[in-house]
Amino acid sequence: MIRFVRSVGSQALERLAGLGRSTVMWATAIWGLPGPGDLVLVLRQIYHVGVLSLIIIVLSAFSIGAVIALQFYTQLSRFGAEDAVGLGLALTLLRELGPVVTALLFAGRAGSAITAEIGLMKATEQLSSMEMMGVDPLHRIVAPRLWAGIISLPLLTAVFNVVAIYGGVVVAVEWLGSDPGAFWSGMRDAVELWDDVGKGMLKSVAFALVVTWIAVFQGYDTEPTAEGIGLATTRTVVLSSVMVLAMDFLLTLSMYGDF
């Protein structure tokens, strides 16, 4: 019993110490950038984590938009309400699925890559050698990736929303023959700029902060071995996904929960 309590206590302390280290790292890195000379580092990382994620985002968005439109059309047409497909699609995407699915895909595609890259740099002593050259890896390596993630994820979310709506249009309007006027006007009447678009993007920024934070910390704090990097990469995807889903519930509750 005492051994169990001791083990729980020790693990809790370890987790707390990790949280402390990650907070210090995050704060040090995020305030260390960007100077004008560092802009190119951020732009390079935006290319790696943002531009290179575009393909998976676009393909997933089109597919998800098409599936949602199909489901809405199938159910709503039973009540003769297929004109509401546009507004249902837009609200579902802008408020929930856009930010959440983009963040999940981003964690899997870019978050894992960031963790593996930083972890491998640690294992091959590149971070240590940088430190010994008088260059702070928190500013040179961690900060550009943090900022790139924070900038890229909301932009990817916007792309996701646009492409997913297009996917819905292809299915509902082009294929199943919904009235295009009713589709677009229903969407325009229902969607509010701040309540739907703005709050959705706000969620995306919050997810970006957390996902990139987890990704860079897992890489920076990893055990510098092959096994350690593998575990850290897995932890990034699992932790990020759980955090995104949990945060989404809390954010939705605080933004839309008017009970």
Query: Among residues 131 and 195, whose Cβ is nearest to another protein?
Result: 131
Query: Among residues 11 and 75, whose Cβ is nearest to another protein?
Result: 11
**Least distance from C-beta 117 to another protein, angstroms?**
9
Query: Among residues 40 and 238, whose Cβ is nearest to another protein?
Result: 40
Query: Among residues 136 and 195, whose Cβ is nearest to another protein?
Result: 136
How many other CB atoms are found less than 10 A from the CB of residue 225?
Answer: 11
Q: Which DSSP category does 35 fall into?
A: -
**Residue with structure tokens 């295009």?**
180
**Least distance from C-beta 124 to another protein, angstroms?**
6
Q: Which DSSP category does 94 fall into?
A: I
Residues binding another protein (CB under 8 A): 124-126, 128-129, 131-136, 140
| Nearest by Cα to 169 from 93, 56, 75 | 93
| Nearest by Cα to 161 from 243, 238, 68, 247 | 68
Query: Among residues 80 and 134, whose Cβ is nearest to another protein?
Result: 134
Query: Among residues 37 and 80, whose Cβ is nearest to another protein?
Result: 37
Return contacts of 60-63, CB within 8 angstroms, 24+ apart: 60/101, 60/105, 60/160, 61/101, 61/159, 61/160, 61/161, 61/162, 61/163, 61/164, 61/167, 62/163, 62/164, 62/166, 62/167, 62/170, 63/167
**Least distance from C-beta 129 to another protein, angstroms?**
4
One-letter amino acid of 58: V
**Least distance from C-beta 230 to another protein, angstroms?**
19
